[in-house]
Amino acid sequence: MISHVKISVIVPIYIVPPEYLRACLDSLAAQTLQECEFIMVSDGAPDAENQICEEYTQKDFRFKFFKKEHKGVSAARNFGIKQATGEYISFVDSDDWIDSNMLQDSYNFANERSLDVLTMNFFETKNNTDTLRIQDPKTKDPISFLRQILTGKIFGGMPLRIIKKTFYNKRTILFPEHIGYCEDILFWVHFLQTRPKIDYLNKAFYHYVQDNNNSITRNYTIEKYIERKKFIKVLKEILPSTFDSEINMAAFNVKMEAMRYGLLSSNDYMSFEKTYLKSLFFSNQTLRRKAYLLFNTMYMAIFKKPFRDFL
């Protein structure tokens, strides 16, 4: 048994192909940091996934397994946080994996600087090929950091960050269980406004796997678009007016995603959080795509339907 846990890693598990789940858990078992715990929370997962989790608890004492009825990833994360005993908490999605030195290096960096939040780079992994995604924030100010998340300049996911548990305990900010999209960002909206001490480690350990076609983040439907619109509505309710520009940019990104999948009506394009030219020109789109989007705005204003050939 571990007398002092340095990092608790929370892994929500629902429906995930066995090979992805095993790759994830194997990467945790390979961590060079021994003073850690891996909290696997079954969110009503099928028997096959549950059996794999139980197998790992038998092989490595650092693994802990809990079975809950299906309530969504936010409920699973909230439950996992309550079980965590580490100095820091972190999150790994069950179809992703991490390098063996991630917990050791991130703990050393955060502990030496007495950080409340540590953020890192990550890899997008597809067809066994890694693409490095740099996450260097412009400043370490929490509000500036939040603005960069809302505008898509920094990835807003929970993985690739660790959080000081004592700082979290004084705020007890929960993941929202009433919305099925961008729960991570809504968490950061609340958490970063409490002004934690943040720093950036210029290394990448986390592999965000893009090959799993069953992943909730890679299946886009009209229901997903409705959830994303609800997310924008919630942002407007919980953020002060000083964030109006960032909210407009977030709404713009939601519309661009819907357009990419052919699910954006001309009415929504023109009326749902109207797109201002500054949102378009300051977005992360290429110059070619920005020109196309400007053309599409004019096209829909005239013909009342989107130009389908999206680049």
Do 95 and 164 belong to one domain? yes
Highest-scoring range by mean pLDDT, 6-10, 252-256, 283-287:
6-10
Q: Are residues 150 and 175 in the same domain?
A: yes
**The two structure tokens encoding residue 124:** 């997008």
94 with 227, same domain? no
Q: Quote the pLDDT of residue 218.
A: 55
Q: Does 308 fall in a domain?
A: no
Return the higher-pLDDT residue of 223 and 295: 223
The number of beta carbons lying within 10 Å of the beta carbon of residue 104 is 18
* Domain end position, chosen among 184, 216, 248: 216
Report the distance separating Cα 187 and Cα 174, nearest Å. 7
CB 297 within 8 A of CB 266: no
The pLDDT of residue 215 is above 60? no
pLDDT digits (tens, 9 = 90+) for 96-123: 999 999 999 999 999 999 999 999 999 9
> Residues 45, 14: contact at Cβ < 8 Å?
yes
Q: How confident is the model at residue 6 (pLDDT cuts 50, 70, 90)?
A: very high
Query: Domain for residue 52, yes or no?
Result: yes
The pLDDT, as a whole number, for residue 2 is 77
Residues 144 and 64 in one domain: yes
Residues 177 and 256 reside in one and the same domain = no
Q: Is the pLDDT of residue 10 over 60?
A: yes
SS3 state at 299: helix
Task: Say whether both 190 and 226 belong to one domain.
Answer: no
For residue 240, what are the domain limits?
220-303
What is the model's pLDDT at position 31?
98
Above 60 in pLDDT, residue 134? yes
Mean pLDDT computed over 138-146 = 93
Number of domains in the chain: 2
Longest dimension (CA), the chain: 68
Q: Is residue 105 located within the same domain as residue 136?
A: yes
- Retrieve residue 182's tokens: 């961008």
Q: What is the mean pLDDT of the segment spanning 264-281?
A: 68
Q: Is the pLDDT of residue 208 over 70?
A: yes
Q: Could you give the count of Cα atoms lying within 13 Å of 27 in the half-sphere of its Cβ?
A: 22
Is 126 in the same domain as 241?
no
Give first-to-last CA distance, the chain, whole Å: 55
| CATH classification of the domain holding 158 | 3.90.550.10
Is the distance from CB of 117 to CB of 162 less than 8 angstroms? yes
- Res. 36: pLDDT tops 80: yes
Do 235 and 172 sit in the same domain of this protein? no
